[in-house]
Amino acid sequence: MCAADELVDRIVNGSQIPSGKRRQQIQRELRCHIEDFVLAARADGRDDEEIAKMAVANFGDPAEIAEAFAWVYRRERTVAHACVFVLSSLAVTGMMLAGVLGVQAGIAFGLGTPVLNVLAGWHTAIEALDILCTVTTYAGLVSLERLFESNRSLKALGSLAVAFAVLMGICVTLDFHAPFLVFGVANGAFFRTIQMLIKSELTRTGIIAAGIALVGFISFERMPFRYEYALAVTCVSWVVMGAAYRQMPDAVARMEAALDRCWQRI
């Protein structure tokens, strides 16, 4: 019954059911149907080779059956993808923010500045929102690309542009200023585009370093006040931020893979 076993595997593997336990349950149920069919066929005097061909023929097109299962479990699949997206974005944001704030706290301590004054300021909140918007945009683009079969990157960027326009329209209507939203969306789209277009790791790192340096210089020029080590602190902060962003694609991919494995055990 190898052909029948292959049929069950093709149906289950193509069903796109996110829960591993649910797939195993469906696999057992399909095998039970086949076993019942085999017992009835053997009672009619059929041999194993003939039974295998009859089982495959009676079940129908495995692609159509898998598509039917995919339609039935579409909501579960949507919930799984949404959970993976949200949890991976929050986890990667937390890791990046912890690293950046750790370096900034070390710099503040070395300069004799109260660490709590640095970490509890409004700048830290904006920094956290910048990182969150960047990671969310990047992870969102990766997720959107999976919905399309052709021109995935362009269609994902187009969908992001529409969503961003709607969000900005809401912000304007509510008179809510969200510079972190603009920065985060642009930053996330920039990193995803660089990853898609530039294959060389060295070139990609150089482009990211140049972009981060430019943003750091602009932020330094717009500072309302300066102190003795302001330029050095700003440079170090943005170098650390650039290094964290450079690791973001790998961190998001690993986190999503880990969460997918966890979901498959449910």
- Our CA dihedral for 19, 23, 26, 32, rounded to 10 degrees, sits at -140
Q: Could you tell me if 48 and 178 lie in one domain?
A: no
Q: Could you tell me if 87 and 214 lie in one domain?
A: yes
> What pLDDT does 231 receive?
59
pLDDT digits (tens, 9 = 90+) for 38-53: 778 778 777 777 777 7
Count of C-beta atoms within a 10 Å radius of residue 23? 18
Q: Kindly indicate the confidence band of residue 4, based on its pLDDT and cuts at 50, 70 and 90.
A: low
Q: Could you tell me if 128 and 198 lie in one domain?
A: yes
pLDDT digits (tens, 9 = 90+) for 21-40: 888 888 888 888 877 777 78
> What pLDDT does 138 receive?
92
Mean pLDDT to the nearest integer, 133-156 = 87
Mean pLDDT to the nearest integer, 6-12 = 79
pTM comes to: 0.76
Mean pLDDT to the nearest integer, 227-240 = 63
Q: Could you tell me if 61 and 176 lie in one domain?
A: no
Q: Domain limits at 244?
A: 74-264
Q: Could you tell me if 29 and 120 lie in one domain?
A: no
Q: Kindly indicate the confidence band of residue 225, based on its pLDDT and cuts at 50, 70 and 90.
A: low
> What pLDDT does 137 receive?
92
- Our CA dihedral for 5, 7, 13, 18, rounded to 10 degrees, sits at -80
- Which is higher by pLDDT, 144 or 180? 144
Number of domains in the chain: 2
Q: Could you tell me if 133 and 200 lie in one domain?
A: yes
pLDDT cut 90: percent of the chain above it: 3
> What pLDDT does 232 receive?
61
Q: Could you tell me if 61 and 137 lie in one domain?
A: no
Q: Could you tell me if 117 and 162 lie in one domain?
A: yes
pLDDT digits (tens, 9 = 90+) for 86-117: 889 999 999 888 888 887 778 777 777 777 76
**Domain-ending residue, one of 53, 72, 91:** 72
**Domain-ending residue, one of 72, 98, 124:** 72
Q: Could you tell me if 84 and 17 lie in one domain?
A: no
**Domain-ending residue, one of 32, 53, 72:** 72
Question: Residue 214: pLDDT above 80?
Answer: no
> What pLDDT does 118 receive?
66
- Which is higher by pLDDT, 264 or 207? 207
> What pLDDT does 198 receive?
85
Q: Could you tell me if 39 and 132 lie in one domain?
A: no
Q: Could you tell me if 49 and 88 lie in one domain?
A: no
Q: Could you tell me if 91 and 220 lie in one domain?
A: yes
pLDDT cut 70: percent of the chain above it: 87
Across 9-13, 60-64, 223-227, 252-256, least confident range: 223-227
User: Of 101-115, 132-146, 209-223, 225-239, which one has max mean pLDDT?
Assistant: 132-146
